[in-house]
Chain A
Amino acid sequence: MSSKSGSTCLYLGIFGALIVGTIITVWVAMGIDLGRPGNIALGIIIACVKASLVALFFMHLKFESKLIWGAALLPLVLFLIIVFALMPDIGNGTTLKRGPAVPVEHKGH
């Protein structure tokens, strides 16, 4: 067969790491104040680590050819390009400013 298959222990370990990452993300966001930039940075870093674990082991990217690595990494490059391309739109007053939503009282059934 072309694809290598991971072991059950490996998959369970990755699952455990994903759950721990989720717990840490929620705990830091709700319980620890690192300042907004700090919380955002840590949240993104943990999300990237979790995504990497899923891609490398659950999706078997670790064992794939360079061609598939290229297909997998291309959207990351394009994502970074889009995010940086949007930078001029931030803070220049062109985005319509709207207030928050106004919730109504709970509707009973």
Chain B
Amino acid sequence: MSEHAVSEAVYEVQHERAKFGMWLFLASEVMFFTGFIGSYIVLRMNNAEAMLKDQDQIQMTLHLAVINTVALILSSLTMAMAVKSAHDRKQVATSAYLFATIMLACVFMVVKFLEYQAKFDHGLYPSSSPFFSCYFTMTGFHGLHVLAGIVALLGILGGSMSGAYTNGHYRPVEITGLYWHLVDLIWIFLFPMLYLL
């Protein structure tokens, strides 16, 4: 077996192990939010009338939440395209899609900031009621995950722009992509749970 073939076989094994490791980390993040969701379910079913009245307050900024949902779904698309471009060794496309993902993530954070500001302006804080305690905790931690994702994506973008993924070794892009898709996945459940149902 040539040296190159051995090197590629070793990379392949490392690639699979890295993906498995990331999936285990994602599983722990799902459990992290499961705790909050479980608490919300109990509080919601035991205080239904009060929680639904508070949800009416949340629905005043429903349009902002819909913008955030579309932004995150679109960022998942651009992230998937970035991974595909890195797989296909297209440096410019990879960098462009990563940049688009970061921009959409920033849109999400700005809109989330505006939403929080609107709540604070009306005197609605985490201590206001059980519903708002759940709302601010869950969306706050989700926002922290988005911020962490932005930091990771900036690092990956730097690598892409310096040509680090043009030799077919695009593992960092794929691994970061897995994390980013989980951030979108969590919002796919948080949005209807907090705003609509």
User: Residues on A close to B: CB < 8 A?
Assistant: 1-3, 5-6, 8, 11-12, 14-15, 18-19, 22, 25-26, 29-30, 39-40, 43-44, 46-47, 50-51, 54-55, 57-59, 64-65, 67-68, 71-72, 74-76, 78-79, 82-83, 86, 89-91, 95, 97-107
Query: When A30-B196, A47-B189 are in contact, do A97 and B45 touch as well, CB less than 8 Å?
Result: no
Within the complex, the shortest CB–CB distance from A106 to chain B, in Å, comes to 6
Q: Which of B73-81, B103-111, B139-147, B148-156 lies at the interface?
A: B73-81
Most buried by B among A14, A30, A82, A98: A98
Q: How many residues on the B side are at the interface (Cβ–Cβ under 8 A)? A: 64
Q: Within the assembled complex, what's the spacing in Å between the Cα atoms of A12 and B77? A: 7
Q: Give 5 closest A-B pairs by Cβ, nearest first.
A: A104-B123, A101-B128, A29-B196, A100-B53, A75-B30
Query: When A103-B124, A104-B122 are in contact, do A39 and B197 touch as well, CB less than 8 Å?
Result: yes
Residue contact A75 to B69, C-beta cutoff 8 Å: no
Q: Count A-B pairs with CB separation below 8 Å.
A: 165
List, in ascending order, chain A residues with CB within 8 A of B20's CB.
67-68, 71
- Which listed residue (A90, A98, A100, A106) contacts B121, Cβ 8 A? A106
Q: Within the assembled complex, what's the spacing in Å between the Cα atoms of A102 and B128? A: 8
Main secondary structure of the interface of A (DSSP, over half): helix
Main secondary structure of the interface of B (DSSP, over half): helix
Q: Which of B147-177 contact A (CB under 8 A)?
A: 168, 174, 177
Residue contact A59 to B81, C-beta cutoff 8 Å: no
Residue contact B129 to A97, C-beta cutoff 8 Å: no
Q: Which residue of B lies closest to A89 (CB)?
A: B42
B19 within 8 A of A: yes
List, in ascending order, chain A residues with CB within 8 A of B34's CB.
75, 78-79, 82
